[in-house]
Structure 1
């Protein structure tokens, strides 16, 4: 989208997976922003409208890649994608195709992935939910030594919590 003069707007998408980041933008070639190199996907990358993905009617977002090699789709389906962070940036590009500035447009967590590996138009759609959904989730973590050992083996931070909880100290005498 042309903004004015020779400046254009574009979208940058960064998905953080276990095997590494996938960073693409709606242009051609490659650009670097904030230490991350984004590879141009051109018209193959599209971002859907924000729509509700849960019972709470909090809007989610979807990203679709089309024209993919079926091997790429197969590899994407094997990747652990749920609960991985995804950031969409709105970037302002100069006349030479370099990013002048970019701001976070949407940030969320990958939720669902649907693939169509037909020979005519192989596509993969990643459905995401906003990070604010994390606030409503319950995580069974208690401040006990056993919980700390599960998360950080060898850490002894909570070992004395039980001992100091009923202790009476006199201060200022």
Structure 2
């Protein structure tokens, strides 16, 4: 479980909740910081620019959104400066973080906590000439999204020769003992 503050835990249990998301995408020398709130949000020295209902998140995770492996961020109604940023930077492999924070009944913001930390797969831009709308979509995956996936390359002769037909480096691997102790007796 995350280290959540008492204030955040209290607001998560409250009958009426108000929470917002804070999104950071790290680019070369610049970080895009936006929020789905209707006003700009300042946390510490960082300002998250308000996008309101124009920012949406689609993720594969558990029901309460506490564990997310893949995330799609959609920003609709995008102005030309955001499109220019999307086209100017190479998003592939860039860090994307998504935080959530709650407000108490007096409107005081609680400590944000991490929902997602991963790497961008890249942006997709859709423009509609009919109605003039534009949508920017960024997909990202967590570091462990395919942790349990079996890789296609094995450490045996057959797998090695698929890529390097004349390489005999794994020729005698099958004859080796299965339990090899490295660096000790």
TM-score by length of 1: 0.64
Counterpart secondary structure, 1:76: helix
Q: 1:24 to 1:128 in 2, by over 3 A?
A: same
Shift of 1:59: 3.4
2:123 equivalent to 1:110: no
**Gap regions ≥5 residues in structure 1:** 52-57, 137-173
Counterpart secondary structure, 2:144: helix
TM-score by length of 2: 0.60
Higher strand share: 1
Q: 1:97 to 1:125 in 2, by over 3 A?
A: farther
Shift of 1:7: 4.9
For 1:7 and 1:38, how far apart are their aligned partners in 2?
21
Hey, which bits of structure 1, 4+ residues long, moved more than 6 A? none
Decide which moves more: 35-44 or 126-135.
Answer: 126-135
Q: 1:97 to 1:124 in 2, by over 3 A?
A: farther
**Gap regions ≥5 residues in structure 2:** 1-10, 62-67, 149-185
Equivalence for 1:68: 78
Q: 1:134 to 1:22 in 2, by over 3 A?
A: farther
User: What is the CA RMSD across the aligned residues, in angstroms?
Assistant: 2.8
Number of residue-to-residue matches in the alignment: 129
Equivalence for 2:89: 79
Which of 120, 138, 141 is equivalent to 1:129?
141
For 2:23 and 2:144, how far apart are their aligned partners in 1?
19
* 1:1-173 paired onto structure 2 within 5 Å: 4=14, 7-50=17-60, 59-95=69-105, 97-119=107-129, 120=131, 121-132=133-144
